[in-house]
Amino acid sequence: MPEPAKPRPSATPNPAAPRPSGPRPAGAPPRPPTGRIVAKPAAPPPEEPLAEAPPLEEAPPAAEEGRGGARAGARRPSERRRRREAEGEGGPAPASGPPTTRGKPVRGPVQAPRDYLKPEGLPLALKFAMIVSGAILVLMSIYSVIVYGIASSSISQQVEDDGVIAVSLAAQIGEEYYILSQINEELYKPPEPKEDEDDDTKIARRKKTESWNAKKKQTRDRYIAHLRHLLYFDIEGEKPTPFRRLLDVYILDMKQKKAYLAATETIGGYRGSAARKFEWDGRETDIEIIEGTYARANEPIVAFTKPVYDRYKEAKGSLPYVAHVFLSGAEIAAAKNKLKFQMVIWLVLSILAGVGLSFGVARLVTRPVKQLLEDIHLVSQGDFAHRTEASSKDEVGMLARAFDAMTQSLAAAREKEIENQQRQHELHIATEIQANLLPKKIPRIPGFDFDAYYRPSKEVGGDYYDFIPIDDTHLGLIVADVSGKGVPGSMVMTMARSLIRLEAGRNLSAADTLVKTNRIIAADIRRGMFVTALYAILDIPNRTILVSSAGHNPMVIWRKESNGIQLVNPNGIALGFDRGPIFERTAKEQLVRLGKGDRVVMYTDGVVESMNKDHEEFGDKHFYQLVQKVANRNSNQVVNIIVTKLDEHQGDAEQHDDITMLTFMVE
């Protein structure tokens, strides 16, 4: 009868458990694989030389914690998983409480304060308006300067044109007055008095002289009126515009330095700069323009002068008369200032209109951006059902549509994340359930040293090992492998475990147990799935083992006496391939007698098919040599050494299949 076995923890590792790091003290035993509680073994027997084993690097023994402690054959994390553990990303999800992601609670959406919608700097609309307003200010200023320059030049040109016309008319009036005066003098001038003229002649001459003087005065007054008309009215007989107002018009007798013909009773002099010639079609004329100060009124003027000619004489300038016209410089400056004021008003109004327009355009442009910011705020609060509507077809509209698509993607991703979290939570529960299905106790039978190891490639696996008490003197040992990993494999493994335990009770035939199990599994298992198994019944008093195989890897027996390896693998096909006839015909069993010091190793294909990053398998031969080399150690050390060698071979590569081992030594 086997002795009561001590309790053992779940075979599923705790990935969150820290892996020891740092150098080992000299002489200290090597660490066991992570997640495995190693039982302290009894003192190992002296190591004997291995004659038939090829040279192989000595593997470090496992840590010893006392034979009385139970050891869990737990999963050894890969290097990648260990890195995740070190970064705090590993660890199983809790069985209850909020969903988690890699062991971390899933945080809800960050409740961003509403104030973050207010920009810390200048708003985008204000920046846009300032830029547009600045551009309008610069452009309108340049435009106003150009317009003012053109208008001012136009005023100056108009002033010159008006002055030239006025002085030309004045010179024409002076010329006509001179010619008419000469004609009247020839026609109406009385003869010179004579000494011997009688009284009648004197009276006639006196009357003629009076008539001549009256005629001459009449002619002078008429032409003075012409000059006055030119002074107070423009050439069209209308009231002059401000910049056409004339201060004075007269014709000066250059010889006598007095007025020959003047529009006013008194004439005034002027002080001015050097005269310049008026040009017409690129040619200089006899008209001079002088800018200065009018002495009588003491105000700025623009003076125009033109010589008076006698058109009936060939020589120009034959007459000593010069026409003078004075235009008010103050009126001209006032006209320019008025134009300048109007331009400033127009500029200010244009700038104000531009600023208002720029703010309107800025609000029109930034309104979709602000709306998009509101949508972003809502989505950031976790409202993934919110839809963002594009209000335009420009770049902002494209951005809104892209954000809406991103929101929908986030909503879908969030749903998937919740589903994944729930799935991870369920997988964690499945992991715990599967761990509870594995043996929690390592049998403690006098004369035998048992140990086992299990590490799934995923959260749950399809491998299975078990110790099945049959009666007081027989113990069933089984290692099985389901075709498939993950949840499907674990479900089939659970079903196979229950059936095998059910059929193994009080059944001392290993083959018959597998036959009866196959009848049920083959009827219920999904098409394409199967279970390979190696089942052995240990006869404790007689130290024999009855082995039957369902298409599984062979049992490895190390014979201490010969230091050789024996492979035991009776015929048989996998469970689930056939519903009965073929399986029953092929199922065989083999009785093997064990000697003192012999070691038995049962394993799944995940051990010998463990691959590194170059897809190189550990291999059957390498495994047999390793078993032969370490077989004389206690079972705990054997398992630890083999697992260490597998991890060294695998390196950074992912584990692609479940790893399961069961071993014992006959003491």
Q: What is the pLDDT of residue 318?
A: 63
Residue 89 is predicted with a pLDDT of 42
Q: What is the pLDDT of residue 30?
A: 42
Task: Please report the pLDDT score of residue 511 as a whole number.
Answer: 94
Predicted local confidence at residue 567, as pLDDT: 96
Mean pLDDT of 290-317: 76
The CA distance from 119 to 85, in Å, is: 41
- With beta carbons less than 8 A apart as the criterion, state whether 481 and 462 touch: yes
pLDDT at site 6: 43
Tell me the C-alpha distance between 174 and 323, whole Å. Answer: 7
- Determine which of 116-120, 471-475, 632-636, 646-650 has the lowest per-residue pLDDT on average: 116-120
Burial 27-41 (b: 16+ CB within 10 A, else e): eebebbbbbbebbeb
Q: In terms of Cα–Cα distance, which of 547, 544, 600, 605 is closest to 571?
A: 547
Percent of the chain with pLDDT over 70: 78
Average pLDDT rounded to a whole number, residues 41-68: 39
Mean pLDDT of 119-128: 73
The larger pLDDT score, comparing residue 105 to residue 338, is at 338
Which range in 240-249, 396-405, 655-664 is most confidently predicted, on average pLDDT? 655-664
| 595 vs 33, more confident | 595
- Under the banding of pLDDT at 50, 70 and 90, the label for residue 543 is very high
pLDDT at 316: 53
Cross-strand pairs, 664 = 450, 600
Question: What pLDDT shows up at residue 563?
Answer: 93
Note the pLDDT of residue 550. 94
Identify the weakest region by mean pLDDT among 134-138, 553-557, 617-621.
134-138
Mean pLDDT of the chain: 77
* H or E segment and range at residue 404: helix 395-437
Give yes or no for residue 472 having a pLDDT over 60.
Answer: yes
Name the pLDDT band for 500 (thresholds 50, 70, 90): very high
Question: Between these two residues, 29 and 424, which has the higher pLDDT value?
Answer: 424
Among 148-157, 393-402, 492-501, 654-663, top mean pLDDT goes to 654-663
**112-116, 123-127, 447-451: which is most confident:** 447-451
Is 557's pLDDT higher than 90?
yes
Token pair for 174 = 């002076």
Q: Assign 64 a pLDDT band (cuts: 50, 70, 90).
A: very low
Average pLDDT on 543-549 reads: 96
Q: How high is the pLDDT of residue 244?
A: 57
Is beta strand 659-666 parallel, antiparallel or unpaired with respect to 448-455? antiparallel
CA angle at 650 for the pair 644 and 656, rounded to the nearest 5°: 115
pLDDT given at position 34: 37
User: Which of these ranges, 35-44, 562-571, 602-611, has the smallest mean pLDDT?
Assistant: 35-44
If you average pLDDT over each of 105-119, 187-201, 304-318, 335-349, which comes out highest?
Answer: 335-349
pLDDT, one tens digit per residue, over 152-173 is: 888 888 888 888 888 888 888 8
Mean pLDDT of 540-569: 95
Among the ranges given (322-326, 477-481, 625-629), the one the predictor scored with the smallest mean pLDDT: 322-326
CB–CB of 5/441 below 8 Å? yes
Task: Provide the percentage of residues in the chain whose pLDDT is more than 90.
Answer: 26
Q: Binning pLDDT at 50, 70 and 90, where does residue 470 land?
A: very high
- pLDDT at position 660 is 94
pTM comes to 0.49
Q: What is the pLDDT of residues 270-279, one digit of tens each?
A: 777 778 888 8
Nearest CA to 434 among 74, 36, 34? 74
Q: Please tell me the predicted confidence (pLDDT) of residue 661.
A: 96
314-368, pLDDT tens digit by residue?
555 567 888 888 888 777 788 888 888 888 888 888 888 888 888 888 777 777 7
The pLDDT, as a whole number, for residue 117 is: 59
Strand ordering across the sheet containing 555-559: 448-455, 659-666, 599-603, 555-559, 564-568
- Which ranges of 505-580 does DSSP label H, i.e. alpha helix? 510-524
Q: Which of 206-215, 532-541, 557-566, 601-610 has the lowest mean pLDDT?
A: 206-215
pLDDT at 151 (0 to 100)? 85
What pLDDT is attached to residue 102? 40
